[in-house]
Amino acid sequence: MKKITIAFALLIITISVSAQDFRLGKVSIAELEEKVHPADTSAAAAILFKRGKTFFEISDNYPVLVTSVETRIKIYKKEGYAYANEELVYYSGGRTQRVYFTDAYTYNVVGGKVEKTKLKSDGEFEEQLNEEYTVKKMTMPNVKEGSVIEYKYIIKTPYYSYFRDWPFQYDIPANHIEYEISVPDFLAYNRYMGGYLTINQSEPYTRPGLGSRFNETVTTFSVKNVKALKDEAYVNNIKNYMAILKHELASTHFPNSSPEYFSTDWEAVSKKIYEHEDFGRELRMNSYFEEDMAAVLKGIVPPAERMNAIFNYVQTRMNWNEEFGYYCDKGVKKAYNDRVGNVAEINLMLTAMLRKDGFNANPVLISTRANGVALFPNRLAYNYVVAGVVLSSGETVLLDATSKNTSPGILPIRALNWIGRMIRENNTSAEIDLMPKINSKEIIQIAANIDAEGKISGKLRDQYYDYNAFIFRENNSGTSQDSYIEGLEKTYKGLEIGDYSSTNVKDFGKPITEEYSFTNNNVSDVIGDKIYINPLLFLTRTQNPFKQEVREYPVDFTIPQQDKYMINLTVPEGYVVEHLPTPIALAMEENIGNFSYNIAAKGKQVQVSVIFNINYPNVSPAYYATIKDFWKKMIEKQNEKIILKRV
């Protein structure tokens, strides 16, 4: 389905703003008196300009990477006060880095004149995050609604392999963003641009570097009038779609030295990770579990059952400490003995056990949904690892034992982020599609009676399959039955539940089934001698989540899914069916999804059958109009009433 695959689009924004002086200290009365942002009146704050420069100095014959950033921000509302703070996280576990703020002032209009308040030392402080990282914080003084703040920060670091990422888009509008990069002739970088904006790039030119000890190539990137990056319904990690510039060291050629090349591809990245002692060596260790594994597999013959037994053993024995990463911390053997480990220790242990039993098992590197999409080959792109088993059929089954609620083929939602990379012992790698292919089902059956006052009473049976079952387990693990029932009753106004039971909650090989009796007095209206009732009762959808006129980002449904409703309603004595909604069948183009709605009356029975399918986990924003219209028609149909008339 080529048309549905995610592709970064270009978004050109043309909003006119008044000319501004992009120099610190040149705040204008017009900027201070501006009440709302001209292009986004809802904005709590806006970046009036942000200008950065990255260049190199030489210190003791060693290159030092310097980043200098100047920022001016307008505060429109109290909700915008947070933008008067800045935090800079930097590595403090090795060679010295310098991070400092300067030229920081808050501007206000007082008595028709500009009042300028300087940042004092009590507005700056540092906090040690852990053994390796420190955060430098700044809180601007005298901030009010209408204030303009500006400041400059400088970061000097001897670590020049990666530049800091440079965003061109934020969660508030930005009038002008500019970034100048000066790269010495003895260094070369790969450059990657992500996102949806069209970024202007100057023609590179060469000039003498600081102290004229080297030449440098200068390139400037800029963009104006950038809309705020706002979250929308069914968006994965919104940062996946941010316009952002990234750099990676490709090569060095220092004077009197031979060139050294770091430019890489995914094969080279995979090889380097696999050869790391906290990865490849840990996979080769197996003596610590051999005796236990033999006992676990005793008497089990079919390969599928052996794979499940190994997975269940690791899942049951091990407890995830909620630490991410693909390198082991204390090592698989100690983690096994302690019964606690990070992602790598648990899933590399699982991979090693599967290999020991003869399975074609390899680790699969993943960038989690919260971590974003891996834009280019580098070791920092990933932060997670699972096991992948290639079956004789060629199918790859993914396994993650960090969660107590997963099963073979079902990954935690955090790991469903487009593409992973399987890395093998022979230093080869392969892309692995992480997204589910089969629609996860939820099947609801209701048999209910309607009384003359419009009150509904009946029984409901709900079955959850595949990812729906996983999500049910994840959401309700550790929740008491009383709390769960209370939550349902709060979700569905007017619902009262009795005689609740559930089955297969701990049997991951079967769908979860829950059953309960219920009453509800909030799904019908009695007007005169007629009763108006929603055919889907309290399960009726009432809101279209797609409210924007234009969609800028892919629609992320997370999983392909099917909702199926089979409802049987008994009409009260003394009433007949006067009107039924018309059956309908809706389908989106490219088989994105469909909706079928059938309803019929026979004697005192009204039978409703509804099937709703979404067939792809991610859909291009090019199909947003189709999805929005589909949802609109589906909700309109669901909200049409059955009319019963007293006779």
Looking at residue 604, the DSSP 8-state letter turns out to be T
Crossing angle between the packed helical segments 343-356 and 303-317, to the nearest 10 degrees? 150
Q: What are phi and psi of 68, to 5 degrees?
A: -120, 130
Q: Which helix (H) or strand (E) holds 260?
A: strand 260-261
How high does pLDDT run on average in the chain?
93
Rounded distance between C-alpha atoms, residue 229 and residue 364, angstroms? 31
Give the tokens for residue 512.
């979860």
| pLDDT at 321 > cutoff 90 | yes
pLDDT over 60 (residue 52): yes
The residue with tokens 């069916």 is: 577
H helix and E strand count, the chain: 10, 37
Buried b (16+ CB within 10 A) or exposed e, 173-207: bbbbbbbbbbbbebbbbbbebbbbbebeeeeeeee
The answer to whether the beta carbons of residues 70 and 162 sit under 8 Å apart is: no
Q: Is the pLDDT of residue 4 over 60?
A: no
SS3 assignment, position 641: coil
Q: Strands 174-184 and 45-59, how do they pair?
A: parallel
Residues 6+ apart with CB under 8 A from 397: 307, 388, 389, 391, 408, 409
Q: Strand 215-226 to strand 174-184: parallel, antiparallel, or no bridges (unpaired)?
A: antiparallel
**Per-residue pLDDT tens for 567-606?**
999 999 999 999 999 999 999 999 999 999 999 999 999 9
Give the pLDDT of residue 552.
84
pLDDT tens digits for range 549-571: 988 889 999 999 999 999 999 99
273-291, pLDDT tens digit by residue? 999 999 999 999 999 999 9
Residue owning tokens 């206000």: 108
For the beta carbon of residue 576, count every other beta carbon within 10 angstroms: 13
Q: What is the pLDDT of residues 376-429, one digit of tens each?
A: 788 778 999 999 999 999 999 999 999 999 999 999 999 999 999 999 988 889
pLDDT tens, position by position, 193-236: 988 899 999 999 999 988 778 999 999 999 999 999 988 889 98
| 520, 492 Cβ separation under 8 angstroms | yes
pTM of the model: 0.85
Res 462: pLDDT: 98
Q: Is the model more confident about 22 or about 34?
A: 34
Cα→Cα distances 206→184, 252, 259, 404, Å: 9, 18, 21, 58
Given the DSSP bridges, would you call strands 456-464 and 495-503 parallel, antiparallel or unpaired? Answer: unpaired
Q: Which residues pair with 44 in a beta bridge?
A: none
Please choose, from the candidates 21, 42, 23, the residue with its C-alpha nearest in 3D space to the C-alpha of residue 171. 42
One-character DSSP codes across 474-494 = HHHTT--HHHHHHHHHHHSTT
User: CA 347 to CA 326: how far, in whole Å?
Assistant: 9
Say whether pLDDT at 9 is over 50. Answer: no
Query: Are the beta carbons of 578 and 644 closer than 8 angstroms?
Result: yes
Alpha carbon distance 209, 513 (integer Å): 70
* Contact call for residues 415 and 368 (beta carbons, < 8 A): yes
pLDDT tens digits, one per residue of 434-452: 999 999 999 999 999 999 9
HSE on the CB side for 543, CA within 13 Å?
4
**What's the sign of the alpha-carbon dihedral 305, 310, 315, 316?**
positive
What are the CA-CA distances from residue 547 to residues 9, 61, 292, 544 (Å)?
Answer: 20, 58, 55, 7
User: Exposed, middle or buried by CB within 10 Å (0-12, 13-18, 19+), for 607?
Assistant: middle
What pLDDT digit, counting tens, does each position of 465-478 carry? 999 999 999 999 88
Instruction: Write down the pLDDT at residue 300.
Output: 96
pLDDT > 70 in the chain, percent: 97
At residue 20, the pLDDT reads 65
Burial of 349 (0-12, 13-18, 19+ CB in 10 A): buried
pLDDT (tens digit per residue) in 526-541: 999 999 999 999 999 9
| High-pLDDT (> 90) share of the chain, % | 82
Token readout for 109 is 């209009």
CA torsion angle 338 340 344 346 (round to 10):
90
Separation CA 365–CA 255 (nearest Å):
38
pLDDT of residue 582: 97
Rounded Cα distance, 199 and 13, in Å? 11
Structure tokens at 288: 């610590």
- 19: pLDDT strictly greater than 80: no
Per-residue CA distances from 565 to 18, 120, 585 (Å): 56, 64, 15
Other CB atoms within 10 Å distance of the CB of residue 439: 19
**Phi-psi domain of 642 (left: phi exceeds 0; alpha: psi -120 through 50; beta: other):** beta
**The Cα angle at residue 47 between residues 43 and 52, in degrees rounded to 5:** 155
Residue carrying structure tokens 């002008």 = 176
What token pair was written down for 408? 């073979």
Between CA 535 and CA 524 the distance in angstroms is 10
How does pLDDT run across 78-127, given as a tens digit for each residue?
Answer: 999 999 999 999 988 888 889 999 999 999 999 889 999 999 999 999 99
CA R_g for the chain:
30
Region 58-72 average pLDDT: 93
pLDDT at 18: 41
pLDDT band of residue 263 (cuts 50, 70, 90) is: low
